[in-house]
Structure 1
C-alpha cells in the first residue's frame, strides 16, 4: 500500500509532462470557378495534383427573378473529377426572401440533384444580409435535409462573426467557410482597390477559432480592374471576364491580391495553426491565359507560405540606331509597374 502511495504522485507528474499533440497545418484547397470542361482548365486540374488536397467546382448559380429562380447549371452530368466539392451560388437578388417552403422547393431540388452526383460536399455561397441570418439557417436546414448524407457547408463573412445568430448558423454543421477576401470599391480613381486585409483576417480567424466549430478560410489569388467614367464614378468592375465590348473607361484602377502578405499569413498559420482552422481554400485555381490571377508558380509558393523578392528589371534591346527599353519581371511573384 505504501508503494502505491509513492507511485501516485509519480504517475500524476508524468501525466502532467505529457506533450500536447501539435495541431496540423491547414491543408491547401482551391475553387475552380472556370468551366471545368475547357482544355486549359483540365490541364490546371491535372497540374494541381500533389499540391491541392481538394478542389471545389462551381456547379450552379441562382438568381431570383421576383417570381422564381433563374438557374444556370454548370455541372449537369457526372462529376468532372472524383472526390471534389461542388459550389452553389445564390446571388443578392434572393436576399429579401423569407425562405418559405415554396421558395426553398426549387433550390432544394437542385441540391438533391447535385448530391446525387456524390461530391464530398456542397457549399452554399449565399449573399445573405447580416440582418437575415435567421432565414439563412432555415434555408441551410432544408438544404441539408435534401442533400442527405452529403454535407452542406455555408460560406460566411467576417462581419457576421459577432452577430447573435452566427453561432446558431454554424453550430451542429460539419463546418463552414469564412471568406476573408472581398472587393472594397474606391470612392475615387486615386484611392487603392482593396481585396484583402491581412490584419482584419488575423482578427477574424482568431474570433472564429474561439467558437469551437471547424472552419476553412477562403483567400484570394485574383485581381480586379475598376473602370471609372468621366465623372470619376465607378462604371464597371472586371475580375473574371474581359471588359465589356464597345465601352472604354475614362480612368481605371487595378489591384491584385498581394502574394507576399498572403504568403506571410500562411507561414504564420503553418507554424502555429489556429484552433479549428482545417484548410485554406484559394479563389481561384490558376489557369493558363487568366490575366487577372496569379500564375501557377506564384500560387504554389504562396500556398506553402513561401515568398520571393521582386525582380523587375529594365532591359535594353539594341536595334539599328536605336534601342528598345522593356520593363521585365524576372521574378516568381507578380510585381506592380513602377510609378
Structure 2
C-alpha cells in the first residue's frame, strides 16, 4: 500500500463518500408516492362534484373517463363539469376506454374520434395534460395494439400518452413494443383474476409490481382499489351480473361480495413505498368515492389511507326502540375514521325465544345459546355510518345484542 493511502484524510474522505451514497439511497427508498384518481362516473352528479372538491388537496392528477367504445363499435362520450375542473387547477388526463372484446377497429377512425374528444374538452376550457387508453385486450392482440398506439402517439404529440396494463401481459415478449410507444403506464392489480379469487391479492400484486418494474423503461403507476363489488353467478357457473354501486350490506343470494379492505391496501402501500421499484411514479386510485357510490370506500377512509393516517375502526351494536310497542332495531354503528368489516356474528339475548330476524346482509340463526345474527356476506360499514341489521320483538325482561363477546348494550 502506498503512503498516499495511509494518510489520515483519505479514510475521512472515504467515509464522507459512503455517507453521501447512503443518503442518496435512503432518500430514494423511503418516500411517499403521490396519488392520482380515476373519475369513472359517466354522469357528473352533484355527489361527484362534491367529492372532487373535497379530494382535490390530496390528488395529484385526475384520470377522467372521457369516452367509451363498446364491443359493437359504438361510442359513448362523457361530459365532465368543466367549470369545476378549471377551478381546481389539478392536471387532467382524459381516459378513453376501448372494450377488450372488440374484434377489430379502423385505426384512422379510432384515432380521429379520440382527437375530436380531446379537442372538445379543450374547447370547454379543460386543459388536457395527457391522454390514456384503457384497453384490456387479449395478449395475442398486443402487436396490433402496439401498432395503433404508435399511430396515436404521433398524432397526439406533444400531449403524453399512457395506457393501462394487465398482469396477463407480463409474460409476453410483445409487451416491450407496447410500452415503447407510450409515455406512462398504469399497472392494474385489482379485479384482474377470476372473481372466485377475490378483488385484490397483496402477494400477487407485489409479484406483478416487481415483474413489471423489470419490463418498464420509463415512468409508471400502480392502480389501487378503493371499492367493493358483488358478483353473481348463473346456474351454468358463469358470471351473471356485477353490482358495483349498490349498498354493500345486502341480503344473501347466489352472489359473492368482493371487498378491498382499507387496512390491507394501506399495508401494501407501506410495503411498496419502503423501497419503491425503479420508475414507479405514484398510485392511481380506482375510483373516486362519492356519497352515491355505496360500494366505494367513504371519503374520510380514502383520505386517511392516501395521507398515511392511522386507521381506526370503532364498531358498536346497540338497540333502538322507536316506541313502547315497536320491536327493537339492532343497530350497527362505526364511529371510527376507517370503513370496517361488519362483524361475522351478533349475539341476541332475549327472554322471548322467537320474534326476531336479520336485515341488510344478516340472517337469523339459532344455536345452544339461543338466537344470533349471522353475516351472510362480507361487507364494509362506512366510517361515521350506521345500519339496521336486524330486529327483535320482546315485551318482557331485558334484551341485549352484541358482537361476539364485546360491546354489550341494552
The answer to whether the superposition gives a TM-score over 0.5 is yes
Q: Secondary structure at the match of 1:140?
A: helix
Q: In the alignment, which residue of structure 1 is the partner of 2:183? A: 174
Q: In the alignment, which residue of structure 2 is the partner of 1:33? A: 40
Contact 1:225 1:239 in 2 (8 A): yes
Contact 1:183 1:194 in 2 (8 A): no
Note the residue ranges of structure 2 that are not aligned, 5 or more in a row. Answer: 345-374, 376-410
| Count of equivalent residues | 320
Contact 1:259 1:307 in 2 (8 A): no
Q: Secondary structure at the match of 2:94?
A: strand
TM superposition shift of 1:38: 2.1
C-alpha separation between the residues in 1 aligned to 2:254 and 2:80? 40
C-alpha separation between the residues in 2 aligned to 1:308 and 1:169? 39
Q: Does 1:165 align with 2:165?
A: no
Contact 1:178 1:217 in 2 (8 A): yes
Bigger Cα Rg? 2
TM superposition shift of 1:324: 3.0
Instruction: Give the counterpart of 1:333 among 330, 336, 339.
Output: 339
Q: Secondary structure at the match of 1:294?
A: coil
Deviation readout 1:65-102 (Å, 9 max, x if unpaired): 3xxx31111138968614211100000232x33x6xxx
Q: Secondary structure at the match of 2:44?
A: coil
Rate the CA distance shift 1:112–1:77 in 2: closer, same or farther, 3 A.
Answer: farther
Q: Does 1:198 align with 2:205?
A: no
TM superposition shift of 1:130: 0.9
Q: Secondary structure at the match of 1:195?
A: coil
Rate the CA distance shift 1:128–1:234 in 2: closer, same or farther, 3 A.
Answer: closer
Q: In the alignment, which residue of structure 1 is the partner of 2:93? A: 85
TM superposition shift of 1:174: 1.8
Rate the CA distance shift 1:228–1:207 in 2: closer, same or farther, 3 A.
Answer: closer
Q: Does 1:70 align with 2:67?
A: no
Rate the CA distance shift 1:46–1:31 in 2: closer, same or farther, 3 A.
Answer: same
Q: Secondary structure at the match of 1:29?
A: strand
Moved more, 119-128 or 204-213: 204-213
C-alpha separation between the residues in 2 aligned to 1:207 and 1:230? 37
Q: In the alignment, which residue of structure 1 is the partner of 2:63? A: 56
C-alpha separation between the residues in 2 aligned to 1:300 and 1:219? 13
Instruction: Give the counterpart of 2:300 among 289, 297, 300.
Output: 297
TM superposition shift of 1:206: 1.2
TM-score relative to the length of structure 1: 0.83
TM superposition shift of 1:231: 6.3
- Spell out the pairing of 1:7-18 with structure 2 (5 A cutoff): 14-18=16-20
TM superposition shift of 1:227: 2.4
Rate the CA distance shift 1:275–1:329 in 2: closer, same or farther, 3 A.
Answer: same
Contact 1:35 1:41 in 2 (8 A): no
Moved more, 325-334 or 117-126: 325-334
Rate the CA distance shift 1:78–1:260 in 2: closer, same or farther, 3 A.
Answer: closer
TM superposition shift of 1:220: 1.0
Contact 1:294 1:334 in 2 (8 A): no
Q: Does 1:226 align with 2:235?
A: no
TM superposition shift of 1:284: 0.5
What is the root-mean-square deviation in Å for CA atoms of aligned residues?
3.0
Deviation readout 1:149-200 (Å, 9 max, x if unpaired): 11111110122122111122213632211011115445xxxxx561111101
TM superposition shift of 1:301: 1.4
Q: Does 1:153 align with 2:159?
A: no
Rate the CA distance shift 1:114–1:241 in 2: closer, same or farther, 3 A.
Answer: farther
TM-score relative to the length of structure 2: 0.70
Contact 1:267 1:304 in 2 (8 A): no
TM superposition shift of 1:326: 1.9
Q: Secondary structure at the match of 2:57?
A: coil
C-alpha separation between the residues in 1 aligned to 2:274 and 2:57? 21
Contact 2:231 2:256 in 1 (8 A): yes
TM superposition shift of 1:255: 1.8
Rate the CA distance shift 1:315–1:207 in 2: closer, same or farther, 3 A.
Answer: same
C-alpha separation between the residues in 1 aligned to 2:116 and 2:49? 24
Deviation readout 1:181-236 (Å, 9 max, x if unpaired): 115445xxxxx561111101111111222234321011111111122446665321
